Amino acid sequence: MASTCEQLIYPALASPAVARELEVLCLHAKARIVATGVNPGFVMDLLPLCLTGACRDVDQITVERVVDAATRRQPLQAKIGCGQDPAEFQSKLHRGQAGHAGLRESAALVAHALGWPLDAVTEQSEPVIASRDLATEFFAVAAGRTCGIHQRAVGWRDGVERITLDIRMHLAAPDPRDFILIKGRPELRLRMDGGVPGEDATIAALINVVPRLLAAPPGLRLLHELALPVWHGGRPSG
């Protein structure tokens, strides 16, 4: 089974007992489970891990994702609090009832794949406040109301930020992009203008991982354990 459940990207972080149970069930049934997607599943975990394959040493990984939420679907705009009172939305973020899920799991997956034992994985979330009136197909957001989120997860080791994942997702976000910085030997930078579009790419990630998952041993698999998913077959469109 290929899933887009965000926490399943690295389930041992928050639910180690559930992860062990899923592993046992998979082995018993000779089944396979993996989580994939765009974020988590590609931009802030699998892709930076792929880049480290060209490094002799890695000291620090930073990933920044900026999304203009005005171009995204209604459920996402609702999830990031569009039009809500900032104080009320901050309270929802604090209770884990809103915002982007899976950011801490992405950091933990990267650390696990690199063999970095982390001292802690922290996360901060805050609403982005509209500086002017904004409108989308789904929401009218007055100045002073919430128009999105800013979340940041950090993987700490020896008092140093080794992994930093920073996502800004709000209406009218300037310069949408995905940016990865690998500090090491050599230092690598990758910038994707416009960023990876979530809707189409999530579907593609699910489809393209299936042959790799079926070829893997039974069990609860982590995405980096599989052969690299690639598009294969069919005719080019257009």
| Residue 116: inside a domain | yes
Amino acid at 176: P
CA 130/CA 227 separation, integer angstroms: 43
**Backbone Cα Rg of the chain:** 18
| Residue 112: inside a domain | yes
Exposure class string for 124-144: b at 16+ Cβ within 10 A, else e: ebbbbebeeebebeebebeee
Going by C-alpha positions, the residue among 60, 57, 62 that lies closest to residue 185 is 57
pLDDT at position 236: 57
| Ordered mean pLDDT values, 10 residues apiece, the chain (238 residues) | 95 95 96 96 97 97 97 91 95 90 96 96 96 95 97 96 97 97 98 92 95 96 94 66
| Residue 233: inside a domain | no
CA 147/CA 77 separation, integer angstroms: 8
| Residue 231: inside a domain | no
Which range marks the domain in which residue 172 is found?
A: 2-225
pLDDT at position 237: 56
| Residue 232: inside a domain | no
| Residue 219: inside a domain | yes
| Residue 83: inside a domain | yes
Q: How many domains does the chain have?
A: 1
CA 236/CA 238 separation, integer angstroms: 7
| Residue 235: inside a domain | no
Q: What is the DSSP string of 13-57?
A: TT-HHHHHHHHHHHHHHT-EEEE--STTTTTTTHHHHHHGGG-SE
pTM: 0.93
What confidence tens digit (pLDDT) does each residue in 58-116 have?
A: 999 999 999 999 999 999 999 999 999 999 999 999 998 888 899 999 999 999 999 99
